[in-house]
Amino acid sequence: MNKIIYLDNAATTQVSEQVLNEMLPFFRQTYSNPSAVYSFAGEGKKAVDYARRQAAELIGANVEEIYFTGGGSESDNWALKATAEAYSSKGKHIITSKIEHHAILHTCEYLEKQGYEITYLDVDEEGKISLEELRTAIRSDTILISVMAANNEIGTIEPIAEIGRIAHEKGVLFHTDAVQAYGHIPIHVDEMHIDMLSASGHKFNGPKGIGILYIRKGVKIRSFIHGGAQERNRRAGTSNVPGIVGFGKAAEIAGKTMEARTRKEITLRDHLIERVLSEIPYVRLNGHKTDRLPNNVNFCFRFIEGESLLILLDQLGVCASSGSACTSGSLDPSHVLLAIGLPHEIAHGSLRITLSEETTLEDIDFVADELKKIVERLRDMSPLYEDFVKNQP
């Protein structure tokens, strides 16, 4: 097996050594349940409180506005379902976008079955929602706007500060799914008028199975997981102390390293984009050129299929991902690529490469060199390419 070049950091990241070391004592030494009365429990409680502060500081939130959950999907579900329930006397209309993660979209579909009405905002060819369309969509019975901070597939960063301002002008709550953005781009809940925000530990070198929902003080939201009195009575279940400690430490590190780390990632990202666009014909960059996550690259290669690209890259030890159909068991390509206006046959040729702090220039050049060969090889056996060449004047 070749050396692994892991370029699927939007799927998940490696837990950093510092984070792991911070977590380890909470498995065997300080394993107490932080809700207990005896002093042995005190250490765990202190650690949870400290992690909550670390998680809050990264987004300018107050400590008591951070609630630990089982991950990003739970946070999204909680934010939408519980708000829908709590504000149903005001109205049953929710606004979101067509390019949200399935944790939002499938929750919206569930809510539609419960009698809620959902408006799915279109996006432009670069993946951004229109603020004008948002304004027009808001009605007197609109209770919530949920738009992601940055897209997980094409990396486009949404204008969340403007969305938040519009939401607050109209007296509507604003939730943002920041799973891809938290720890990667600057977010400030007050400056961006965010009422609720979802984030997940494993997207920024923290552990899996731990997330947060930021809930602004004063937002009426009922508990979603019922049981004990943990998380200020709003999210039951024994605190995942090692996970919480890991989340906090990862958030602290992400905040401290954000500037230097993302500057490096952007340089490598743009180098890869530049090389592929100039050296491989019939390829397009998906997502916004500059308003995009520092570590995200997403292309569509015409006439070939993303899945075969992934298999050939895998044989070289390169881990990447695609919005192609077969991996998801559906014949339709990614809803995000369709929403930016790509036809099915082009959307099937997508490749997502997501970098990390560890990614090197050598890795990127290796991938660009190999991609050239792989794309050429796959096009050689593609009937679509054959037709295209034949029909060229």
Partner 1 sequence: MYSEKVMGHFNNSRNAGGTENPSGVGTVGNAKCGDIMRIYFDIAEKAEDEEY
Judged by CB under 8 A, the stretch of 42-50, 241-249, 322-330, 355-363 that binds partner 1 is 322-330
Catalytic residue among 108, 300, 319, 326: 326
Contact call for residue 386 and partner 1 (CB under 8 A): yes
- Phi first, then psi: what are they for 380, rounded to 5°? -60, -30
Both structure tokens of 132? 């004008």
Contact call for residue 316 and partner 1 (CB under 8 A): no
3-state secondary structure of 32: coil
Both structure tokens of 318? 């390169």
Which residues, 75 to 94, sit near partner 1 by CB under 8 A?
A: none
68 CB contacts (<8 Å, ≥6 apart)?
A: 48, 52, 55, 210, 211, 212, 231, 235, 239, 240, 243, 244, 247
Contact track, partner 1, 345-374, x by CB under 8 A: x--x--------------------------
| CB neighbours of residue 20 within 10 Å | 16
Judged by CB under 8 A, the stretch of 12-20, 182-190, 251-259, 342-350 that binds partner 1 is 342-350
Closer Cβ to partner 1, 369 or 386, answer by number = 386
Closer Cβ to partner 1, 1 or 37, answer by number = 1
Contact call for residue 344 and partner 1 (CB under 8 A): yes
CA angle 355, 146, 186 (to 5 degrees): 40
What is the pairing mode between strands 117-121 and 66-69? unpaired
Closer Cβ to partner 1, 76 or 305, answer by number = 305
**How many residues would you count in the chain?**
393
Contact call for residue 389 and partner 1 (CB under 8 A): no
Contact call for residue 383 and partner 1 (CB under 8 A): yes
Kindly state the smallest distance separating residue 107's Cβ from partner 1, in Å: 27
Both structure tokens of 301? 């290669």
Amino acid at 385: Y
Both structure tokens of 47? 């650690």
Please give the DSSP secondary-structure letter assigned to residue 156.
Answer: B
Both structure tokens of 369? 């060199």
Q: Which of 74, 76, 265, 305 binds partner 1 (CB under 8 A)?
A: 305
Kindly state the smallest distance separating residue 284's Cβ from partner 1, in Å: 17
Contact call for residue 333 and partner 1 (CB under 8 A): yes
Please give the DSSP secondary-structure letter assigned to residue 369.
Answer: H
* Cβ(81)–Cβ(222) below 8 Å: no
Please give the DSSP secondary-structure letter assigned to residue 326.
Answer: G
The maximal CA–CA distance of the chain, rounded, in angstroms, is 82
Contact call for residue 331 and partner 1 (CB under 8 A): yes
Is there a catalytic annotation at residue 326?
yes
Contact call for residue 334 and partner 1 (CB under 8 A): no
Contact call for residue 315 and partner 1 (CB under 8 A): yes
Contact call for residue 324 and partner 1 (CB under 8 A): yes
Kindly state the smallest distance separating residue 386's Cβ from partner 1, in Å: 7
Closer Cβ to partner 1, 180 or 322, answer by number = 322
Catalytic residues: 326
Q: Which positions touch partner 1 (CB under 8 A)?
A: 305, 307-308, 311, 315, 324-326, 331, 333, 344-345, 348, 380-384, 386
